[in-house]
Structures are given as structure tokens and as C-alpha cells.
Structure 1
Amino acid sequence: MLICQHIANRIKSDQNQDQSLEIMNKWVSSVEKSYHHIYHELTTSSPSAVDDKIPTNWTEERFKHIINLREEALDKGRELWADFVWFVDCDVFLTNNQTLKTMVNTNYPVVAPMLDTLSLYSNYWCGMGLDYYYRRTDEYKPIRERENKGCHRVIVVHSCFMVDLRQVESQRLTFKPEKINGYNGPHDDVITFAISGYWTDVPVYICNQIKFGYLLSPLDDTQTIEDDYAQLTNIMLEASVDFPTMSPHQQLTEYVTPPVKTTLGFDEIFLINLERRPERRQRMEWSLNHLGLKHKLINAVDGK
């Protein structure tokens, strides 16, 4: 059992249209004794029409809300005299149990583990245009594809990053545009935080020397929640190559609905496997089950 005696979790959730609050309450009650403290504010939102569309264009009000939540977390860390504040969004999947230790040991004021996706997208920018938005640079791809391994200074990290509050320059960091002298850019938490560091010479790093975890890519206007489910399934399968297979928390299995089994129109789908390689069979059966593929196991002929 993992005992995190010096770790405090801060969770704030609202505007949900699913069972997130019920799930979160069950999770908190099952793990709270393992942490120093869990601060959680789970707000029941007003009922709204639920469909399969995902809001891909954020309103100014939504940005203001997120900015306030992040600034509140940063202030709370300072108030508690915490050594670090680790921001982790809910679409991040950390699969390497050495991630936290690795980030702490870098001793950088702001540092992030590079997260893999099913595309070139990741949780950092190497460049920013005059309009403050993302600009592709020559440095980006070699980092993303791990041609250049290590920790690299970048201009933006997001979705999953750590702030070292022990370092005095961290006091210059903020998510609020009004706290940055001369800033006239967009009200965006990612951009504002980056500028607060860039303009005051607080270095920001992305580390890619090993695989740390995965990140869901943003959807576009034409995609639905089903596309998000498919992306999540594919990331789970991808992660199982290098890490143990994911499984739901023992208290939350009731919320996981297995897909309907199908043979995709074929008479049979065969899984041919050597009896002396049970670990391969187990991973393939796990993968096929998550894909909803009905299969028949056939023992391979062993050439030995």
C-alpha cells in the first residue's frame, strides 16, 4: 500500500454531466488515509441537456473560471508552505511510478514530464508567436520523438507540470493576467502562466529521457464523446506495451461497462499463442476485451 504522508491532494470539480462526483467521493473515501490530507470541493451543477457533443471552443467565462482555480491552488500551496505544487489535468495518465521522484530531483523551478499522445501533440511548446499563441519550431519534433533526450528549456508546459515553491523565483509565477505588468494577451491560463515566467526569467523545462505517461489530444468541432472514448482505449492499449495494463480502482469497477463483443462481421477471430508464453496471451486477451473483439484461442505449434 502506498502511504503518501507528506502529500496533500486538492481536488475541485464542478459543471459535470456524468457520474464524476459520485465516483470521486468513493475514490476519496477509499484512499484518504494514504495521504496527508485531501482537500476536495465537489459541486453539484445544475442539470443541463446532455448530448454527445464536446465543447471545443472555450468561452471567456470558462477561461476565467480555470484561471481562478489554478491560482487558488498555487496560493494554497504557498499558504501551506508546501515544497511543490503539482498540476495534473484529468486527461493525463501517468503510467510511470517514478514520475514524481524524477521531477523533484531535477531541481528546476518549473518542470514537466513529456507526455505521449497518438500524434505529435504533447504538453509543451518550444515557440510562441507575437500573438502569444503556439508557434512550431525546429526544436519541437526532435524532443517529441525523443531524438534529443533529457530536460529541455521550453517556453510553455501545460496539463501536467510541477512548480518548486522552495525556489524564490517561483513567487513571480501567476495564472492571472492582471498580475503581469504590460501584458495585453489572451486570458488563457496556459499562456498567462508561461508569460509570467518568461518575462521574469523563470526557466521552464520539459523532460523526455524516459516515458512518463500519456495525454488525450484535444478534439475538434466535428468529433464527439465516442471519439474521446476511442482515443482513450487506444492510449490504454499503447501504454500496455511498456507498462502494466490499466485496470479500474477496486471501489469503482461498477462504473466500467465492457464493450459489446463482436467479430467485426467475420466468422471467427483467432488468437494463436504459444502455451509457453502466457504473458503474451494475457496481454492480447486484455487488449481484445477492451476492443470488444470476440476471439477463439488456438495453441500455436511449438517449433522447439
Structure 2
Amino acid sequence: MKIRLDLIFFQFLFTICAIKTERIIQYKKVILNSNGTISFEDELHNEIKSSTYLIAVTVQNNAHSLPTFLATLETLKCPNENQKFHLWFIFDKCTDNSYEIFTNWLAKTRQIFDSILMINTMNDKQTKQNHPELESFYFSSNLKIRAMAYALDKKFDYILFLNADTILLNTKIVEILVRKQKPIIAPLLTSSETRHSTFKVISGDEDYQSKFYSLIYDRIKLGCFKIDQVQESFLVDLKHPKISQILNLNVQNKLSDDENFSLFAQDFKIPLHVCNRDLFGYVPDFIKNKHDAFVHMRIEHLLKGPNKTYNEPLKVSDKIDEDLIQKTEKSKLGFDEIYIINLERRPDRRQRIESALDDLGISYKTIQAVDGRQINEEYIKSLGIKSLPDYRDPYNDRPLNYGEIGCFLSHYFIWKEMVEKKYNKIIIFEDDAKFVLGFKDIVKNLMNSINENKISWELLYFGRKIMRFKEEAWNYDVPFYKGYGLVIPAYSHWTVAYSLSLNGAIKLLDPEPLKVMLPVDEYLPIMFDKQPNEYWSSFFPKRDIIAYAIQPSVIYPTHYTGEPSHVSDTENTPILDTNKIEEDSKESSEINFDQNLDKLANNRAHLEL
């Protein structure tokens, strides 16, 4: 009897684990039968499989995002396996080629969907004249009411609202939301920088709003939460008895479509919910430049893999003719060259940063980094590399290692190439550089201001770790742009991203730093005389590089020490034994000297003969 109960218990535990992972979509109720067996009862199966579903999409000059959005739309799974999604697309005052992109795509994907209605708001006046029988709500200024009117008229069971710059990653999103059995429910879709999402909390004081919002947004607590407002993307159960009353809504023009919709729900006491249990996708940051916001969403997606691993780039639909897809004209932001330093054994990092720069429209040259795990004593001797005498890493209390040598050389060889090719200014990115929202616009504007105000510079940090914040000073000759300005940097770490002028590169090379090497991010502060270690600085008498930094940084590392998926490419490499290398060099020199003496003696003997 005890064995049978144990088996039942373990079977039950296994079932619960299965439900928490894969089977939550398939099963609603777990039943433990009297004979010890377990069965499942899906109370919603029949309703879900027999319902009809409409996806309503608002397009407002979304030519930049449509190719990616439509690619995700192709992958969504309709809960009713016997039917397909119905589509309702409204093109609201579009002046770009959004409509052309959509119709081109639709011609090749028509069989994926059921009925499709396309509306162009620029034709509303003509449509009213041609169809006087249509009710006023068919032409409502609130686009969601227009979609609801159509959905209710056609007797759909559910409607999912989307904007054409939304990215859905969960192909089963509709069924997941339907199973929550809420009249109006938004999936949690998050942005990158502005914490914009698909819901709002407006009740209570500011402290309560902030804490409750963070609890949901940051997924500190998982579930479905009652909230004050849904926005942009949400599902509506059209079978709810009070939903049809929305057609009588008196639209307040001062409010957005979503605010009007949420007010209607409150008036009729229809609860609004947001679900954050699953990872559903993204909405762009809420900023004026929609193109920049969408591009930033694409490049941030690359960093949001499981446990902070890298994701594959978001795909654009291959059902759209290439000539219709917007292409950002590439530039070097006014610099002569933009370098990426990448280790050959890190193709994931290379793909990530190259994809990000491609999306940003930035031209670049990828340089294979010197790998500290591949170099050896012979290579080090050939370059005449010696450690700064008695150098000890201040954090790990060890001498210079091969990883730090490889990192220094990777930057050093770029400095040399810059001087050889006489470039006036360059940017160097390490392959873990993460770009802030609006990076390209910020850099362009600040560089223009630097040039206009004739600011002389030789080293310009784009990203760094500030070690002595109180010792820094603003340069007020360069106007702030979107909160970013120019500072005279104090002691700083990191070489994740910086710019050099030709004079700056020459000054970095002049002291022959390979003969007194230390980590490159300790060397740079020495050369603009902000290194607090006076002993290290004493080996470099001329320390007059003109350095500045963009503050706040416009580049950060993708991963920090201790975070999931952080891998150091400099640590865990051999320690440089300078004494051994010097002894080997001395021994080699003595052998060569003896051999030369022997040759000289033989030559003399030959001459005497």
C-alpha cells in the first residue's frame, strides 16, 4: 500500500512539473482519481477551438517596422486549428510606403489568413459619401472603436489589438490570453530604456504607482494583475455582455484612443488586467523619433537571450520585395574609420555587434583581436614586450597576464594603422559595446558642437567606468544635447569605446609602451595624467594627451562581472614571467655571440691560409 501511495505521489509531482512547463496551455484542471490515476479536464478546450479571432492592427507611417512586424505576424498560431486569423488593418494618415509594403506582402501570404479588411483613413470622406448607410462609429476618430464596430458586426469572439511596431515573440500569445478568462487583458510587452509598456497604473500616490508598476514590469511577481489602463496591445473578449456598449462611447478628443477605451471600461466596471507570466515581446520606447525607437528595440533584442545570452537578430519578412524595404544609408559618423575588436573564438559577439551597427546604419571594419590564450613566449619576445617593472594588478594582486597583453596589442595595432594611414580621427569599439537609445543622433550632435566650438581633443571616451567622479569637470562650451555633455575625465577604466585623433594615436605610440606594458585601460589615464599610481606614471614622463568624455556614457558593456553569461577574455590566462623571457633572451644572445666568434675565427683561419 505504501509503495502504491509513493508512486501516486511521485506521479502527481511529475504532473505538476509538466503543467508548470509545457502543459499549461493544454490542461486547465488536474483530477486525482480514486483509483490513484491522474486525469486532466480542459474546461476551455471546446470554447477556444470553436471561437473566431480578429487581429486589428494600426499602421501610422510604419514602413521602418512593418517588415519585422509582418514576419512575426506570419508565425502566430490561431487557437482554432480549423480556422485562420482574420485581419483588420487601418492605415492612419500614412505618407510613407506602408500601404505598398503591406499589399506586396499580402499578395504572397493571403493563404495564411482568412478575411482581410484594409482601411485608409485618407479615403474616409469618399467612403462616407459612397456608403451613407454606415453608422458614425465606423468613422470614429478612435481607431480602436472602429475596429470594435467591425468585429462586433461580424460577430467575432475575440479581438487582439496591435500596433505595427510591436514585436511578438510568443507564437501562442492569443490562446494564452484567452485562457486567462479576462474581459480585457494586455500581455506585458516591455521597452528598453523608457520603461514604456502595455499598461499604466494611475491610481494611488506616486510611490504606490511606481512600486506596483515595477512589481509587474520587472516581473518580480508573476500572474495577472488588475490595473487602471491598457494601451497599444491587448485582447478583448467580445462575448462580454457590456463590451458592445463601447460603440456609444462619447470620445474625448483630448485623450488618446487607449485612454478613452480604458475610461469606458471603468465607467461600465469592466476590469482591466495585464499578464506577465510569459515573455511575450516588446514595444518601442516612447520617444518622438519612432524610427530610432524601433531600431533600438531590434538591437536590444540581441541581448535578451536566456540568462543574458545573445539572441539571433530579428528577421524581416522574406515575402516583401527588397526594393520596398527601407534601407538606412550607412555612414562613419564623420570619422575616417570605425573599428570593432573581436576575438575569432567569439563569433556570437561579432554577430551581435555587427547586427547592431548594421541596424544603426554605421559602417565599420572588424579587426581580429590578439588572443591572449593563443600567444606564447616566442611571440612576446619577437615584439620586445616587457611588463612595467613590479606591476601588480590592484584587484587580483598578480603580474600582467597574457589576456591583458592580447587586449593591449589589439588596441596598439589599431593605433599604428591609424598613424600609417594618416587618419584624422577614428572610433574603436570592443565587441561587447552596448549602445544607448539615440546613440547615433547624440554622437553626431555632440561632435558637431565640438567642431563648431573648436574644441581641441585627442582622446574622447564614449564609454568608461568612472573611478573618481568628484574630480571631473564639465566643459560648458559644448551645449548639452538630450542630457549628454562633455567632461574632462578623471581616472577612468575600460576601453569599451573611445575615439582618437591622429595626434592622440601618435602620443600613445611615442613612449614605446610595449617595453613597459600594463593593462591598456590603466595606460590611457596615465597619458592624460590622471593615473593615481605615481610609480606607474613615472615611466611615462610626457603625459599631455587632451582627453574628454561624453557624459553620461553613450556606450556600456553588455555584461558586467558576476552577471549570467559574463565571460572574461583576459582573466584565466598565463602570467607574464618577464624574468624568464629576459633570461631566455640573454641565453639566446650569448649563444649567438659565441657562434659569431666561431664564425669570425673560421674566417680568419681561412684568410690566413
The change in CA–CA distance for 1:267 and 1:34 in structure 2 (over 3 A counts) is closer
Find the partner of 1:298 among 368, 371, 396. 368
State TM-score, norm by structure 1.
0.76
Find the partner of 1:259 among 329, 351, 359. 329
The change in CA–CA distance for 1:201 and 1:284 in structure 2 (over 3 A counts) is same
Residues 88 and 118 of structure 2 are in contact (CA less than 8 Å); yes or no, is this contact kept in structure 1?
Answer: yes
Residues 176 and 192 of structure 1 are in contact (CA less than 8 Å); yes or no, is this contact kept in structure 2?
Answer: no
**Aligned residue for 2:294?**
232
**Aligned residue for 2:231?**
158
Other structure's SS at 2:250 match: helix
Does the alignment pair 1:27 with 2:105? yes
> Kindly, what percent of the aligned residue pairs are identical?
19
Structure 2: unaligned runs, 5 residues or longer: 1-73, 125-138, 305-310, 375-609
**Aligned residue for 2:116?**
38
| Structure index of larger Rg | 2
Other structure's SS at 2:84 match: strand
Distance across 1 between alignment mates of 2:145 and 2:122: 22
Find the partner of 1:273 among 334, 343, 362. 343
TM alignment of 1:1-304, pairs within 5 A: 5-42=83-120, 65-67=140-142, 69-117=143-191, 118-128=193-203, 136-172=209-245, 174=246, 177-178=249-250, 186=254, 188-219=256-287, 227-242=289-304, 243-250=311-318, 251-254=320-323, 255-262=325-332, 265=335, 267-275=337-345, 277-291=346-360, 292-298=362-368, 301=371, 303=373
State TM-score, norm by structure 2.
0.40
Other structure's SS at 1:248 match: coil
The change in CA–CA distance for 1:185 and 1:258 in structure 2 (over 3 A counts) is closer
Residues 21 and 44 of structure 1 are in contact (CA less than 8 Å); yes or no, is this contact kept in structure 2?
Answer: no
Other structure's SS at 1:85 match: strand
Other structure's SS at 2:148 match: helix
Structure 1 runs (4+) deviating above 6 angstroms are none
The change in CA–CA distance for 1:45 and 1:81 in structure 2 (over 3 A counts) is closer
More divergent stretch after superposition (35-44 vs 81-90): 35-44
Q: Which amino acid aligns with 1:149?
A: L
Distance across 1 between alignment mates of 2:335 and 2:121: 45
Distance across 2 between alignment mates of 1:266 and 1:96: 42
Q: CA deviation at 1:102?
A: 2.0
Structure 1: unaligned runs, 5 residues or longer: 47-63, 130-134
Number of positions where the alignment pairs a residue of Structure 1 with one of Structure 2 = 269
Task: List per-residue Cα deviations over 1:265-288 (Å, max 9, x = no partner).
Answer: 36551231343x434432332222
More divergent stretch after superposition (20-29 vs 155-164): 20-29
Distance across 2 between alignment mates of 1:71 and 1:267: 52
Q: CA deviation at 1:229?
A: 2.3
Residues 87 and 160 of structure 1 are in contact (CA less than 8 Å); yes or no, is this contact kept in structure 2?
Answer: yes
The change in CA–CA distance for 1:199 and 1:289 in structure 2 (over 3 A counts) is same
Distance across 2 between alignment mates of 1:295 and 1:105: 50
User: What is the CA RMSD across the aligned residues, in angstroms?
Assistant: 3.1
Distance across 1 between alignment mates of 2:333 and 2:259: 47
Q: CA deviation at 1:295?
A: 2.2
Q: Which amino acid aligns with 1:124?
A: F
Whose helix fraction is larger, Structure 1's or Structure 2's?
Answer: 2
Other structure's SS at 2:277 match: coil
